[in-house]
A = this chain, B = another copy of it.
Amino acid sequence: MKPLDFLDTCTLPPGFRASGVHAGIKPDPEKLDMALIVSDEPETTCAGMFTTNKVQAAPVQRGIVQMNTGRARAIVVNSGNANACTGPQGVRDMEEMAARTAERLGVEPDQIVVSSTGSIGKPLQMDPVRKGIDLLVPALKDAGGNEAAEAMMTTDTRPKACTTRFEIGGTSITLAGICKGAGMIEPNMATMLAYACTDAKISAEHLRLALKTAVDESFNKISIDGDTSTNDTVVVLANGRSGVELTPEKEGWDIFCTALRGVMFDLAMKIVWDGEGMTKFIELRAKGAASDDEADTALRAVANSFLVKTGWAGTYPAWTRIVDVLGYCGVEIDPEHLGVWYDDLALLEASTPALPDSDALNAIVTSNRFTVTVDLGTGGEGRAVLYTCDCTEEYVRINMF
């Protein structure tokens, strides 16, 4: 199998259309704030994964139930208001969003996926939402994926999209994804919305299978600030337009799974690179842990430490704070055999400072991307990887008001 190309744009597969409009939820008339993605195939299957937070926005509660049907025809999204912590009115507003979109598209309301993202705890402004739905439907077009991506943005500084194509039995299949997310991002599903569309024909059951693996190896491996949102959603739609049917037993399945994982990974990395106020992308690796789970726990604690993240923002040799985190994060370590590397430069080996060349260290900590590897010293085989970023003054400014 030849390596897949991943393009930084959303080119929707045949049989999908999308649109993005300014409905008026955001005050700035230049900013798009509602998106719609539609499949023109009646037998479109779907699979979804949602936040693990016990407090769930109304659309998430509905989405979890809806995914059991395995069928969906459209996804309608508003940005600027998360419709979370909005009580019974929030549920009614969401149902109206679904019903109005369904009526305009001529499908059943239970075929509409609804997502909201933005401020929590404020009632959804339904007049703009109604107007937005009425604008979205006539605006649908084959090339509308990037507008939809733009319309999902909140504190994102840029839209995030990815498309890949591959051939199965001589037929070209397209897989395209868009997402949003920049803050309230935590490993168990980033605070984010992500949608992917393909023209392969896949049962809902098999789509769930592929999605779970793809999310575990992408959105569940990133952290901006350790805060798991109430609204996290990832949904994939397969409309079968290509006529190529895929099951785990068939030859093309692995290619599809690789493509889905690749698109999700690409989108997840775009979220980290757009982390609120971020200036540095950090790849965290753990080894020498008692288990993979313990390695993962240790990395999440490191990625969520105020002191480590603010140290990365500047030039403080945050490795000492990383060692501090390893000591309190609750996993098994050997305090006499800890190790820390920045890229390939050893900073601590067998719990003794390696006193690296300060120019070499400075070159790493002032670059915008580096890898930090920790050895927990237990001698175990446990390993993990996590992608995160620094925490800057700008992050604080973004979240103060």
- Which one of B120, B188, B325 lies within 8 Å of A324 (CB-CB)? B120
- Output the least CB separation between A68 and chain B (Å): 20
Say whether A353 contacts B87, CB under 8 Å. yes
Say whether A307 contacts B401, CB under 8 Å. no
Task: Say which one of A11-19, A145-153, A207-215, A388-396 lies at the interface with B.
Answer: A388-396
Say whether A399 contacts B316, CB under 8 Å. yes
Q: Given A55-B323, A225-B306, A328-B228, answer yes or no on A85-B396 (Cβ-Cβ < 8 Å).
A: no
A-B contact pairs, 8 of them (CB 8 A): A121-B348, A186-B328, A225-B306, A227-B306, A304-B306, A310-B400, A314-B401, A393-B397
- Which one of B184, B324, B393 lies within 8 Å of A229 (CB-CB)? B324
Q: Which residues of the partner chain B approach A351 to less than 8 Å between Cβ atoms?
A: 85, 87
Say whether B353 contacts A321, CB under 8 Å. no
Taking the complex as formed, is A237 at the interface, i.e. its CB lies under 8 A from any CB of chain B? no
Taking the complex as formed, is A368 at the interface, i.e. its CB lies under 8 A from any CB of chain B? no
Q: Which residues of the partner chain B approach A348 to less than 8 Å between Cβ atoms?
A: 85, 121
Q: Given A352-B87, A353-B121, answer yes or no on A54-B328 (Cβ-Cβ < 8 Å).
A: yes
User: Residues of A at under 8 Å CB distance from B?
Assistant: 52-56, 84-88, 119-123, 183-184, 186, 188, 225-230, 304-307, 310-311, 313-317, 319-321, 323-328, 333, 335, 338, 348, 351-353, 391-393, 395-397, 399-401
Q: Which residues of the partner chain B approach A311 to less than 8 Å between Cβ atoms?
A: 399-400
Q: Which residues of the partner chain B approach A323 to less than 8 Å between Cβ atoms?
A: 55, 85, 120-121, 230
Q: How many copies altogether?
A: 2
Q: Which residues of the partner chain B approach A353 to less than 8 Å between Cβ atoms?
A: 85-87, 121-123
Say whether A316 contacts B53, CB under 8 Å. no
- Which one of B305, B310, B325, B335 lies within 8 Å of A396 (CB-CB)? B310
Residue of B nearest to A119 (CB): B320
- Which one of B227, B316, B328 lies within 8 Å of A52 (CB-CB)? B328
Residue of B nearest to A226 (CB): B306
Say whether B393 contacts A320, CB under 8 Å. no
Say whether A327 contacts B55, CB under 8 Å. yes
Say whether B85 contacts A53, CB under 8 Å. no
Q: Which residues of the partner chain B approach A119 to less than 8 Å between Cβ atoms?
A: 320
